[in-house]
Each structure stands twice: as structure tokens, then as C-alpha cells.
A = this chain, B = another copy of it.
């Protein structure tokens, strides 16, 4: 049975827009693969410890028999994160922009995975061409011509690792102004936010269908 690996990084469980967009992608993927398996990793509820990455890296500098128990556990977690991606037929990452940068939980996941020798620079490509979707959301507006244009330092970085470094066949769905409905000062942006939401939901469904058919073609 085909498997979709889904990773969530929103600190909200209720009202999370990145989770909502990912739900749409997932539903379309499942519609294309009735009975398919969705394997989930919630990067917030089941957070990767802050020290896993550097313990896994320093373990790589240490002869195996001299590694501490903490280093062994970190190496094993690092391998598990890569196994999850390697075993999946498709990957879905849902990650909001937080404080103008990448989610700390996503960076911690990426770093810890990259510590595995299979994702080291120069290793045989392990994930190249695997279909993937990134669902990302921004509370404010970052469009060209607005004061915050260029302040999203997350999406270009996530594209870099998922697309350029890991070589995933990546589609991205983005929604912004997600805080308009709960922020009085953004009331004037509500129509724009709602239009953007409807468009993003359509893109999410399209990407979900493509994710399912990309797998069928593989």
C-alpha cells in the first residue's frame, strides 16, 4: 500500500491554517489511493529534542564503540527520520512562517535528518524525484510592494532544502494574511485574505491530486 509521510509544524492544533491546507492535500492523496497509509509526525507535539542534531553530528566524529548512550540515541533518531522519508511514496510538510524565519521545529527536523550519512553532501541521492508538497502560511502580507516584502525568510529556505538539496519533486501552496480574521487592525484586509484563502485551498487540492498521480506514474 502506498504511504504518504505527513509532517506538521504548526503550534496550533485548532485553527491552524497550515494543517487545514495539508488536510486538503492529504484528502486528495487518499482519494487517489483508497486504503493508502498516512504516516504522521507532529514536529511540535512530538518535538525532536534540541540536542539530537549536535549529538548525532558529534557521534559521526567519534568511533562507534566510544559513543555515549545519548549519541547512540541521536544517531538512531536521525536514521529513523531518514527512513521515514525513504520509505514514503510522497511527502507532505505543513509549516507556518514564524517570526520571519523557518519553524524551529522544521529546522531541528531537517538538521537531525541531514546528520544521517545517507543525506550527507556527496552521498548517493536518496530522495531525488520523490513527489512532495509544502503547505506554508504567513500571518501577514508579504507581497511585492508591501512593507514586509522580502521578510519571509522561511519559504525560500524550505524550498532550498526540500527541493535543491534533497531533490524532492516539490510543489508549494502558500496562504497569507491568515491573521486578518482575528486581528482588528487587519480588518481592511479581510476580503483580500478570504480571496487568498479560497485560491490557496484550490491550489492545495490540485497539488494533492498531482501528488497522488505522480506516485501512480512512478
Contacts and interface: CB of A to CB of B under 8 A. Distances in A.
Contacts of A153: 153, 156-157, 160
A131 to B, nearest CB: 22
A129 interface: no
Contact of A49 (B50, B58, B105, B111): B50
A100 B161 CA distance: 8
Contacts of A164: 151
Contacts of A99: 107, 110-111, 114, 161, 165
A164 B151 CA distance: 10
Nearest to A151: B160
Given A110-B99, A111-B98, A104 B157 contact: no
A164 B193 CA distance: 26
- A contacts with B: majority SS: helix
Nearest to A11: B54
A13 B57 CA distance: 13
The number of times this chain is found in the oligomer is 2
Interface in A191-215: none
A11 B58 contact: yes
Nearest to A53: B104
A102 interface: yes
A101 interface: yes
A187 interface: no
A195 B108 CA distance: 33
Given A99-B111, A111-B98, A111-B99, A50 B104 contact: yes
Nearest to A54: B11
Select the residue from A48, A54, A100, A101 with max chain B CB neighbours within 10 A: A101
A189 interface: no
A190 interface: no
Contacts of A48: 50
6 contacts: A49-B50, A50-B104, A101-B161, A104-B104, A104-B107, A104-B111
The list of the 6 closest CB pairs from A to B, nearest first, reads A153-B157, A11-B54, A47-B50, A104-B107, A104-B108, A101-B157
